[in-house]
Amino acid sequence: MQINDPERTRQAAPDLRLDAPEADDFTEHPLSMNGEAPAGKGATAAAPSFSCSASCPLSHVPQKAWLHLFRMPFRKRHPVIFWGLLILLLGGTAAFMVSQATGLGSERIALVRVTGPIMDIDAQLRWIDKLGRMPGVKGVLVRVDSPGGGAAASQELYEALARLGKDKPIAVSMGSTAASGGLMVSMAGKRVFANASTVTGSIGVRMDIPQIRGLLDKLGLGRQTLTTAPYKDAGSMLEPLTADEKAYFQGVLKDMHEQFVDIVAQGRHMDRARAARLATGKIFTGREAVELGLVDELGGQQAAHRWLANVCKVPADRPLLTPPSEDEWWEKSLKTWFGLDADALLGREAPAFLYSF
């Protein structure tokens, strides 16, 4: 607010008495931070003051309010300080974000989580690939709490971790469950930890084929399928398996089973015949798994972290580098409030072959 014409002000408010210096004198000597005029020319001029009758709204405005109205903003009074601080703030924020994205800020241990059914692993694969390109990441802690999942997804996740393990040491911490595909993923670890009551093992392959023919018959519904090859329609939900189809699928399952055994033998540096004897589909507690050679040591995530920190020469109290959250807000709400998995509700996970307990 500026008052450049006292006469116009008096005409607008007849009862207003203006006891301020001329506008030119005021603008030539702006107010200081404490509301006083600076020394020098016009130093004796008082700050603007207004007085009017009780009915005038201006009579209720405090003196300090008038002073603030005529003060220039900080960025104009101290432009060098303002823009300098802004540039430092933006530069520091950008440097922090780059260090977090590249792992250049300090030597860190990164965390990879494998939780729930192993189905959609795109997020984990992206994170693992990113960790491989971070020179500041010296080791990787894999937390597994999964009953397994799709055969191909479990194997792909294991292979990605195994490749990463060639450059950076990996420690695996088994949670409540690390069975079947969860066990396969754990085989990528240089050292594997489990709690005494962890459920693991379940080495084998399962194939589920729902049968709905009886229900459709009751509803008076049906479907006919034409094929160009005898096994093209094998495993249909509308027809039970024939003896040839059972033998056919048993051969496929056996091949996947042998691949699982090979991974266990390789990951645990175990004789293959010994690994094959463990591949009966049975589950084991963490304590039994230590005796059988599937797990190295009993302990939780903190024990695995301490071991890995010692190997990597990274302080154990340094926070783990965690991946960004990629869940949609509604998926996160379902998991947090109701314990529901959106993938299961929407039917997005229905593989034919499962490394699953």
Which pair of structure tokens corresponds to residue 192? 């594997």
The active-site residue, picked from 154, 173, 180, 356, is: 180
Handedness of CA 228, 229, 235, 239 (dihedral sign): positive
In the DSSP assignment, the letter for residue 118 is: B
DSSP for 1-62 reads -----HHHHHHH-TT-EE-S--HHHHHHS---TTSPPPSSTTTTPPPP-EE--TTSGGGGS-
Catalytic residue among 232, 246, 254, 332: 232
Burial of 178 (0-12, 13-18, 19+ CB in 10 A): buried
Paired residues of 191 in beta bridges: 171
Token pair, residue 9, equals 């002000």
DSSP-assigned states of every residue in 242-281: PHHHHHHHHHHHHHHHHHHHHHHHHHTT--HHHHHHH-SS
Residue 173 appears among annotated catalytic residues: no
User: Is 64 labeled as catalytic in the residue annotation?
Assistant: no
The residues annotated as belonging to the active site are 180, 232
